[in-house]
Amino acid sequence: MNARQVQQMFLCVAEKMVASEEFLTEIDNKIGDGDHGIGMAIGFKGVYQELENKTYTYVNEVFHAIGMTMLCVMGGASGVLFGTVFISGIVNYPEKKEFVLEDFANIYVKSLNALKKRGKAQVGDKTMIDALEPACLGLKKAAEEGKSLHEGFAYAAAEAKRGMEYTKECKARFGRAKYYGEKAIGLQDAGATSVYLIFQAMSDWVNENISKEA
């Protein structure tokens, strides 16, 4: 995928996330601060405006633009965390005009590790990590097995969904949700839901716009 294609993919992601504001707010109202959907919508409205009329040579530039925009316009913990997802992986990563599945896997795994180091959350803590880690490792596994972009992103989205569903089984260790204790069991985490929506939107775009052999 070249920079233009990745740009178009994330414009699609941005539209999906803005449209999901009410859904994410409903989830976050149950055990969170109730502002996650608003924050994600603000962030991805900014992303859409940033990407819409720009021209990028390197795929790395697209990721940097997304991450910096989220850091600047979202504020708070979510801006830092989701900004990290898009920025940390490209630090010192070779500039490339095209990314293959291995590149996506490399930068997302690197971002995952940076996020875990920054936020200290692990799988099972009822956070975005529960969806992000299986998604990133899914990309890595697919790349190692020589899968196509279509197969790799589909697998990552499926793993993100599995992780999102897993948060229903967990008690929270971070944020307001941790004060709910056992009462939080049965309810899914809003951050993990956002991660799933992002990976599913990427998979949908690749499925519709990229050859299945790519």
CATH, residue 161: 1.25.40.340
* Cα separation, 189 vs 31, whole angstroms: 8
In whole angstroms, what is the distance from residue 170 CA to residue 133 CA?
16
Answer whether residue 159 shows pLDDT above 70: yes
User: Among 22, 19, 31, 35, which Cα is nearest to 78's?
Assistant: 35
* Predicted confidence (pLDDT) at residue 89 exceeds the cutoff of 80: yes
User: Looking at the domain assignment, is residue 159 inside a domain?
Assistant: yes
pLDDT in tens, 160-210: 999 999 999 988 887 766 656 777 788 899 999 999 999 999 999 999 999
**In this model, does residue 135 exceed pLDDT 90?**
yes
pLDDT the model gives residue 212: 63
Total number of domains in the chain: 1
- The answer to whether 187 touches 164, Cβ cutoff 8 Å, is no
Q: What is the mean pLDDT of the chain?
A: 93
The count of other CB atoms within 10 Å of the CB of residue 158 is 17
- Tell me, yes or no, whether 214 lies in a domain: no
pLDDT by residue (tens digit) across 26-42?
A: 999 988 878 899 999 99
Distances (CA, A) of 67 to 80, 111, 176: 9, 11, 25
d(CA 65, CA 189): 27
Tell me, yes or no, whether 145 lies in a domain. yes
Q: What is the pTM of this model?
A: 0.94
Domain extent for 93: 3-209
